[in-house]
A = this chain, B = another copy of it.
Amino acid sequence: MANRVTLDHIAQHVGVSKTLVSLVLNGKAQQYGISRQTCDRVFAAVKELNYRPNQTARSLRTGKTGTIGLVVSDISNTFYAQLARQFEDLATANGYSVFICSTDEDVEKEQRLITMLRNRQVDGLVVSSSQSNAEWLMAINDSGTPLVLIDRHLGASTLTAVVAANRNGGALLANQLFEQGYRHPLVIGLSTNHISSVAERIEGFVEVFKGKGQTCAIREVGFNTLQPDVHSLLANPKLLPFKPDCLFAVNNNVATAALQSLAAMRVKIPNELGLVCFDDLPYFSIIEPTITAVEQPIAAMCGKAFELLQLKMVGDSVEVSQGILELPVKLNIRRSSLKKSK
């Protein structure tokens, strides 16, 4: 019902074969020596009948759908929303459309979604995976489906991955806190700590303090129970080995939850408690105090990921660089970590 006009209709209307119409519309007129007049008549018919090519039919024949699957944990998370937007722009500019899927950090859901996307014959996949080992995705990669990991890598696998310098970012934040005189950090991680990004942020952070002879308390909160978990953590200091003088929120959602609890408890930042966060959010530079954060190179990550994916998709047997590509992060120092200043 939606699309009545086909190549055949155009062909009949003009009085030529549908082969010719197809060739003309695909810009192969010159190559096949089709006369200018005929081309013009085809174009005129296309306009007159308002022909729109059926991409499904074309995809079946060519084996290319012009679609890419983008799989993240939650598209409503500002970080992934921004990433999706950047990626969408690149994809659209290159003639691709993007399926966006949220996994909620659920491995089985991730696998179901990826299988579904492959059944839809996506030309490529960009995945921020929640899986703990590379096997399953490796099989997909080896089966020939172009795949690029983003934001998170999967250990020493040879899967192509584009990530932020998470370890370095964690270290930058730790150094900033230490310089400002903070000595007893509480690291709030996620129960999905096996995920490379989170793990490395924490490692980078903890290493610095360890190097200065200080220990960090590390606690995890659940992805689906973030708010209450963070709150009970902050409200019950007896659960910790010591009273922390600063907080490291391992991503933007953890930071927002912490800020909410701390506001309710009327804890004064940065003096009673310092706060730093991995991921920058627009509101971090608005609120009082402004929040020190590591900003991820979202545009660069998308750019690189798309570039690598496209190399794999055109697949001229170019050997695409495998392994992990790490892009530099930026430390935005703001008042939430400035103890001295007061």
**What is the 8 Å Cβ interface bit string for chain A, positions 129-154, against chain B (1 contact, 0 not)?**
00000000000000111000000000
Q: A102 contacts which of B2, B85, B145 (Cβ < 8 Å)?
A: B85
Q: Which residue of B lies closest to A144 (CB)?
A: B1
The CA of A145 and the CA of B3, in the complex, are separated in Å by 9
A342 to chain B, nearest CB (A): 17
Q: A120 contacts which of B56, B81, B82, B121 (Cβ < 8 Å)?
A: B56
User: Is residue A277 within 8 Å, beta carbon to beta carbon, of the partner chain?
Assistant: no
A109 to chain B, nearest CB (A): 9
Once A97-B99, A144-B2 are accepted as A-B contacts, the answer to whether A119 and B287 lie under 8 Å apart by CB is no
A50 to chain B, nearest CB (A): 9
User: Is residue A320 within 8 Å, beta carbon to beta carbon, of the partner chain?
Assistant: no
User: Is residue A115 within 8 Å, beta carbon to beta carbon, of the partner chain?
Assistant: yes
| Cβ–Cβ contact A54 & B121, under 8 A | yes
The 8 A-B pairs at the shortest CB distance, nearest first, are namely A81-B81, A76-B85, A1-B144, A287-B287, A283-B283, A55-B120, A76-B82, A56-B59
Interface residues of A in 233-291 (CB under 8 A from B): 256, 259-260, 263, 281-283, 285-288
| Cβ–Cβ contact A2 & B121, under 8 A | yes
Once A60-B60, A286-B256, A287-B288 are accepted as A-B contacts, the answer to whether A2 and B81 lie under 8 Å apart by CB is no
Give the number of copies in the complex: 2
The CA of A101 and the CA of B92, in the complex, are separated in Å by 9
| Cβ–Cβ contact B65 & A75, under 8 A | no
Q: A121 contacts which of B3, B77, B99, B101 (Cβ < 8 Å)?
A: B3
Most chain B CB inside 10 Å of its own CB: which residue of A2, A74, A89, A315: A2
User: Is residue A53 within 8 Å, beta carbon to beta carbon, of the partner chain?
Assistant: yes
User: Is residue A49 within 8 Å, beta carbon to beta carbon, of the partner chain?
Assistant: no
Interface size on A, residues (CB 8 A): 54
| Cβ–Cβ contact B59 & A118, under 8 A | no
The CA of A143 and the CA of B84, in the complex, are separated in Å by 31
The CA of A67 and the CA of B53, in the complex, are separated in Å by 17
Q: Which residue of B lies closest to A140 (CB)?
A: B2
User: Is residue A195 within 8 Å, beta carbon to beta carbon, of the partner chain?
Assistant: no
The CA of A238 and the CA of B57, in the complex, are separated in Å by 61
Once A52-B115, A119-B54 are accepted as A-B contacts, the answer to whether A84 and B100 lie under 8 Å apart by CB is yes
Once A88-B101, A92-B101, A283-B256 are accepted as A-B contacts, the answer to whether A60 and B56 lie under 8 Å apart by CB is yes
Residues of B within 8 A of A82 (CB): 76
